[in-house]
């Protein structure tokens, strides 16, 4: 059962962290406005499962995924992959650094480069309590008697606000039905 619980927890954690990040936010992927993509990336907590979106005018820019060495030297000669649609979604499937720059001559040098670093350890732990107000969790969810609550349910209630809220409602219904 511990394994099942762990898998459920992982699934919930994964789902709740599938965020979409548009590089440069409203400015997008550009050389205009001297956007500091390093600064942009520094404020994000990229996770596996997230999607990175590069939005740009495909006439003037592209996206190349490159190695660290190529990234540092703005060497566009042999990218790992190249994206050219103007609205490229890159799905993050592994930890570590993901280096991207624009392969149009001069653009990387002008700062059109970004390092998407997916940390091995989550900086920001899942905060399900933020989804359900503590008041609801504390006062509206009745504590089930030991007889009708399995350890799994108790564990899930403790671990995840949303789940515990749902389970709480269910046990409340159970409670009023049988009492």
Give contact residues for Cu ion (rule: CB under 5 A): 61, 102, 104, 107, 112
* Nearest distance in Å: CB 50, Cu ion: 23
* Nearest distance in Å: CB 34, Cu ion: 13
Residues 6 or more apart whose CB falls under 8 angstroms from that of 26 comprise: none
Per-residue b or e along 108-147, where b marks 16 or more CB atoms closer than 10 Å to that residue's CB: beebbbbebebeeeeeeebebeeebeeeebeeebeebeee
CA distance linking residue 115 with residue 72, whole number of Å: 10
Pick the closer one to Cu ion by CB: 116 or 118: 116
Pick the closer one to Cu ion by CB: 23 or 118: 23
Pick the closer one to Cu ion by CB: 113 or 157: 113
CA distance linking residue 118 with residue 63, whole number of Å: 19
* Nearest distance in Å: CB 86, Cu ion: 11
* Nearest distance in Å: CB 45, Cu ion: 26
Pick the closer one to Cu ion by CB: 112 or 164: 112
3-class DSSP assignment, residue 178: helix
């Amino acid at each position: 059962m511990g394994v099942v619980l762990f898998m459920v927890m992982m699934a919930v954690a994964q789902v709740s962290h599938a965020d979409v990040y548009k590089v440069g936010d409203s400015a997008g992927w550009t050389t205009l406005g001297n956007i500091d993509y390093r600064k942009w990336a520094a404020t994000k907590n990229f996770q596996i499962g997230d999607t990175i979106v590069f939005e740009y005018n495909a006439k003037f820019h592209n996206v190349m995924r490159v190695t660290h060495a190529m990234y540092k030297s703005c060497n566009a000669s042999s990218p790992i992959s190249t994206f050219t649609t103007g609205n490229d979604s890159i799905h993050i499937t592994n930890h570590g650094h993901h280096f991207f720059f624009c392969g149009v001559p001069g653009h990387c040098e002008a700062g059109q480069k970004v390092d998407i670093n997916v940390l091995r350890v989550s900086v920001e732990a899942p905060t399900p309590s933020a989804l359900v107000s503590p008041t609801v969790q504390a006062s509206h969810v009745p504590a089930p008697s030991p007889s009708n609550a399995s350890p799994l349910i108790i564990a899930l209630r403790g671990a995840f606000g949303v789940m515990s809220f749902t389970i709480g409602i269910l046990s409340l219904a159970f409670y009023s039905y049988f009492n």
